[in-house]
Structure 1
């Protein structure tokens, strides 16, 4: 099951790149979250209907699904998008990897989960590898101003607001994972669970949008067709595929291990940025990635 969490990290990395390129075109972080959740709900509702497992959800699941949606989507998703817009996808990804230690601590405090010594070492190696890889992940361009103007993926100066938003997103993700662990132990259909989470977010985000007349008096700003298609692609990769795999992972592994493996997105994003921007990676990035792979192997060692 842990391999599903590992797959989540690659999906999140690719979706993060897509979000960085469309967040301004859609109208900002909140607008991106609204459209992402609406599209995600429609996709997941179709999948859950085709699979036919809506009945796997019960009334006992509702409070935790609502809590997970409010914290991990309504609060954390716009915070993550805003962090990407302020400090870039790479640095936001680094800070977002704090969701792993946050989740491990919450799993211990709330669920009473314990980790074997080898798993503690594995989590530490993965977290350390992520920090090292992302911290030295890119070579500084010769002309910072030109790079900043030429690509949405160019390095930008750190800001306190961007860092705090990324930390908030990481903590929200941890709480969201923790909330879903008891639900997924009942083996409900992951598509139905994710659709329910998305529905709660859709209602809250769009209700908030319409609660302020200044945001919609000129009508709903529907993104251009090409932009909407890219948003839909990011939703399918990051939310429909990625988060559904994470829900499956939670049925067979602890919150700490699942969150640690899914937080490898900052490492996965490095070669993606290289291919996308043509900027070569520093050798330290590959060393950090190697440490992360070793940590992953230790997690599976018994």
Structure 2
């Protein structure tokens, strides 16, 4: 189980890095255009890797329906809503809202998959989530206004962030039965990305104004978009698919909710604004909680 727990934590780290990298291109290109570009590139990359490795041969037709639904909820809707929220709230506050996908994952896993948590795992889950809330709620000092955070559209940003969290939890729940059957994680992630990519191109072809690029695609923005996609969706979501092979939805959700804690030192390095002591206390609390989950 340790391998699958570490995979979930690795996904959290990938999402933290990709969130910081993707903040600028997402805001300038628009959430739909930004997501469409990154998914197009990843479809080619992961599809090629899966074909070369023969992973598609182990994918049964019975799994396609669940992976399709997982893709449309977790990636097409979830990713797009998350970056739309980030354009309004910035990576830090969006991280707080997106971390609630752990709560949704626990609730859905218990209600729909009859999952149970041991007392140690339940305590660990609570500490992880409490630490996340503390780390983000006290993540900046009074008077600071990081360049990625805006005071506009707060209510809509909150709604988008919570919607993204719910979609992520649903996408994880739908993928769990497929991954428990031993499907190759790279292939499963590649298929989910390809389906979501196709949906984005259909939306663009419909003439929807939100699907258009909001600014020209410069070489710098293109490079940031590629890097964001490879780290966040390419590596991060493949690790989640791996974690779901043996890990339950609730624990995978909680461990991957470490993302906003990991964003703190990244924002400090990028924006040169040191988080206060309470933010680090929250981070430490989440680390203790994750250790309890890993040691269950």
1:197 to 186, 192, 214: 192
Indicate conservation of the 8 Å contact 1:94/1:266, yes or no.
Answer: yes
Distance 2:51 2:82 in 1: 30
Q: Match of 1:241? A: 235
Q: CA RMSD in A?
A: 1.9
Q: Deviations over 1:189-237 (max 9, x none)?
A: 1111111101111111110111127679x99987222211110101010
Q: Paired residue for 1:251, among 245, 256, 273?
A: 245
CA distance in 2, matches of 1:244, 1:300: 19
What is the rounded CA distance, in whole Å, between the counterparts of 2:14 and 2:70 in structure 1? 20
Distance between the aligned counterparts of 1:299 and 1:136, measured in 2? 24
Alignment correspondent of 1:41: 43
After alignment, is 127-136 or 73-82 more displaced?
73-82
- Structure 2, unpaired ranges of 5+: none
Partner of 2:226: 232
How far apart are the structure 2 equivalents of 1:248 and 1:215? 33
Partner of 1:123: 125
Contact 1:75–1:172, Cα closer than 8 Å, also in 2: yes
**Alpha-carbon offset, residue 25 of structure 1:** 2.7
**Alignment check: 8 A CA contact 2:131 2:283 kept:** yes
Q: State whether residues 12 and 265 of structure 1, in contact with CA within 8 Å, keep that contact through their aligned partners in structure 2.
A: yes
Q: 2:46, 2:190 within 8 Å by CA — same for their partners in 1?
A: yes
Shift of 1:157: 5.9
The aligned residue for residue 207 of structure 2 is 212
Aligned 8 A contact 2:33 2:213 in 1: no
1:90-110 per-residue CA deviation (whole Å, 9 max, x = no partner) reads 000001000001011101111
1:183 matched to 2:174? The reply is no
CA deviation vs aligned residue, 1:145-167 (integer Å, no higher than 9, x gap): xx5xxx23x46467110000000
Q: TM-score, normalised by structure 2?
A: 0.94
Please name the residue that 2:86 is paired with.
84
Residue 124 of structure 1 contacts residue 295 of structure 1 at CA under 8 Å; is this kept in 2? Answer: yes
Asked if the contact 1:2/1:252 (under 8 Å) is kept, the reply is no
Moved more, 51-60 or 220-229: 220-229
Equivalent residues of 1:125, 1:295 under 8 A apart: yes
- Equivalents in 1 of 2:100, 2:81: separation in Å? 14
How many equivalent residue pairs? 293
Gap regions ≥5 residues in structure 1: none
Structure 1's consecutive aligned runs of 4 or more residues displaced over 4 angstroms after TM superposition are 213-216, 218-222
| Aligned equivalent of 1:161, options 156, 161, 164 | 156
Report how far residue 50 of structure 1 moved. 2.3
Residue 7 of structure 1, aligned match among 10, 32, 36: 10
| CA separation of 1:156 and 1:270: change in aligned 2, threshold 3 A | farther
Is residue 2:19 matched to residue 1:16? Answer: yes
